[in-house]
Structure 1
Amino acid sequence: MNLELALRMTEAAVKQAYREGARISVAIVDDGGNLVSFQRMDGAEISGPVLARGKAYTSVALRRPTSELPALAAADGELAGLAGAGFVCFGGGLPLWSGYGETERVVGGIGVSGGTIAQDVACAEAGASAWSGR
């Protein structure tokens, strides 16, 4: 993960947000969950910066899209109590993978917040597509 790539990813997410009619915050983190790039659109929700970064961090820490977490973090789920541990357990966060097979590993994450869950996921996917097309 480097700054140039992270900036392209945030820009791709923001462009998708314009298409979706959403006002978002988007965060890119490295493999340690450290912030590399962040953008907040004019008029985006006050909670967006915290949630976007939280979604990016959560996706890296758990190596899965945050959209998979609501069922897992439910009271009877495999990861019950996860949300109470500071993880963000709703859609909009995606891990970024590098390598193949046994060498595949998470190298960062993207988190988007500010739209509906579907809009956040679409914007995160648009940003992640810049990663896959690096």
Structure 2
Amino acid sequence: MKVSRRTRVVTGGALAAAVALGGFGAWSASASSPAPAVQTAAVAAKGAAKSDAKSAGLVRSTHLSIGAATEAAQAALKAAQKENQRVSVAVVDRDGNTLVTLRGDGAGPQSYESAEKKAYTAVSWNAPTSELVKRLDNAPTLKDIPGTLFLPGGVPVTAKDAPVAGVGVAGAPSGDLDEKFARAGAAALAG
């Protein structure tokens, strides 16, 4: 059976209109009543973020820019290089997403992932990973949480007493050195 070009155009247009209207209907239905989880998150975040009166249900939060994250990573790497240490550095945002990772010349292959996990762990608990290691005595299953690494070398970055990022360093011969370099990265953001 042969279908004319005009029939194909009319049928295609009708189909496109139906899909568009269906999508619009789904969007407007979801926009008219926010999900309870979103409302609960907004209430929970009320103390940490400002509510925008013009946009009920939305909150503002502070995020580290890519430029600032790069500056922090470079400062940590430079501090390590001054002491002839071969490390990797990672900076993650408040949600644990990697913003910047720098692998120093000669850094071991394991250091890249370890730096990311240390940064993620520090921002997740808003505490240096050296302090979190001590918590394993009372809660040994903390180390089983995916994506975390409970070794010294990760520090949180805060703004207005809330975590906004984490800096992780891995590859030095001791966790104390890793953390020293991570602190140099975090300090670059304060100055």
The answer to whether TM tops 0.5 is yes
Per the normalisation by structure 2, the TM-score is: 0.64
Is 2:88 the counterpart of 1:22? no
Is 2:155 the partner of 1:94? yes
Aligned equivalents of 2:80, 2:136: Cα separation in 1 = 27
Which residue among 159, 163, 175 is the counterpart of 1:117?
175
Superposed CA deviations along residues 15-64 of structure 1, whole A, max 9, x for unmatched, are 11012221000000110001111100111011111110000000111111
Structure 2 CA distance for aligned equivalents of residues 8 and 41 of structure 1: 15
- How many residues get paired? 126
Q: Is the 8 A contact 1:68 1:90 kept in 2?
A: no
**Post-superposition offset of 1:5:** 0.6
Distance 1:42 1:20 in 2: 13
Establish whether residue 81 from structure 1 lines up as the match of residue 141 from structure 2. yes
Structure 1 runs not aligned, ≥5 long:
none
Structure with greater proportional strand content? 1
Query: Alpha-carbon deviation of 1:71?
Result: 1.9
Question: What is the DSSP-based 3-state SS (H/G/I as helix, E as strand, rest coil) of the residue aligned with 1:13?
Answer: helix
Moved more, 65-74 or 44-53: 65-74
RMSD: 1.0
Give 1 or 2 for the bigger CA radius of gyration. Answer: 2
| Structure 1 counterpart of 2:72, one-letter code | M
Residues 10 and 26, structure 1, Cα contact 8 Å, conserved in 2: yes
Q: Report deviation, 1:124.
A: 0.3
The match for 2:185 is: 127
Q: Distance in 1 between matches of 2:164 and 2:133?
A: 24
C-alpha contact (below 8 Å) 1:20/1:119 kept by paired residues = no
Structure with the higher helix share, 1 or 2: 2
Among all aligned residue pairs of Structure 1 and Structure 2, give the percentage whose two residues are the same amino acid.
Answer: 36
Q: Specify which structure has the bigger relative contact order, considering alpha-carbon pairs within 8 angstroms and separated by 6 or more residues.
A: 1
The one of 72, 80, 84 aligned to 1:9? 72
